[in-house]
Structure 1
């Protein structure tokens, strides 16, 4: 039994409703709704403004997945009530990002290559470009979707510590290697 599932997930005032169908779990909040498809059969019940997940099986594999489901459902509840945001900064001379004039769900990146790199943004992800195209702030209710999109952006031009060029997460601190001393 997972230690997380014993504590339960506390619900806040921003959650409107949660219901489970045969295989799906729906969470409705002030920022919208999210759903997850549950592969294995679990019992989800309420007790004192908290959600508890239980499984009545002696299979070891199913008990190990219980903690994973607990974390996923907790992220869904947090995302629907408050949301997730990530901030990316683009460093380098001539490096910037802009929105496509034809399609407003498309970001165009100028990253020192001979042509522009483009990425389509999912409809669930909201974005804001700040500091004349040097910073992107992304907001989404789904943590997994946001993380995948941020990784796609980071792969366009990896941050080079020695030159100080590329795309990085804004508050991320990277340390240079020490040189060999003679």
Structure 2
């Protein structure tokens, strides 16, 4: 059995877990997340812990038990604490401004780039060169941060662009004659 799949997931106070035949619903202070239940995995909630086990002895069921356990742990963590990604803008004149559910970026193009935020995601700009994306769903937060970064990824010669706060950009040396 998967080593990750064997570990139980503790359910903190204020988090409600409902397991149906076809889906798993987790409610918490920061929202509600729903995930379809995989047919090769059985999930049980007993005495404040979620236990995940493969439904049969196949290798796919074993792999999916670890995957399902990790996804459920991320859902519980998301509805209780939440997830966040921090992006920084590097470049002269590069600015970001959060306006409600929209992110307005001025990143060296002839026009401003506007990105709409999906429901359940909040975006803030503590400074003009920092973007903070927060939400309960880890996958949506990460995907949104990747889409914003893709508008102007860091280039290798000067390092200008949008990067993750913890990202290290290796600067190339310019061509010599």
TM-score by length of 2: 0.89
Q: CA deviation at 1:85?
A: 0.7
Whether 1:156 aligns to 2:156 is no
Q: CA deviation at 1:94?
A: 0.9
Q: Is the 8 A contact 2:6 2:66 kept in 1?
A: no
Aligned to 1:173: 168
Whether 1:134 aligns to 2:129 is yes
Q: Tell me, in whole angstroms, the C-alpha distance in 1 between the residues paired with 2:156 and 2:58.
A: 48
Q: Is the 8 A contact 1:88 1:137 kept in 2?
A: yes
CA distance 1:139–1:164, shift in 2 (3 Å): same
Query: Following superposition of structure 1 onto structure 2, how do residues 74-89 of structure 1 map, counting pairs within 5 Å?
Result: 74-89=73-88
Aligned to 2:141: 146
Where do 5+ consecutive residues of structure 2 fail to align? none
Where 2:125 maps in the other structure, the secondary structure is strand
Aligned to 1:12: 12
Q: CA deviation at 1:48?
A: 4.0
Whether 1:55 aligns to 2:51 is no
Q: Is the 8 A contact 2:41 2:61 kept in 1?
A: no
Q: Tell me, in whole angstroms, the C-alpha distance in 1 between the residues paired with 2:55 and 2:171.
A: 51
Report the number of matched residues: 175
Q: Tell me, in whole angstroms, the C-alpha distance in 2 between the residues paired with 1:49 and 1:21.
A: 17
Q: CA deviation at 1:72?
A: 0.5
Q: CA deviation at 1:5?
A: 2.0
Where 2:55 maps in the other structure, the secondary structure is coil
Q: Which segment drifts farther, 5-14 or 111-120?
A: 5-14
Q: Is the 8 A contact 2:89 2:129 kept in 1?
A: yes
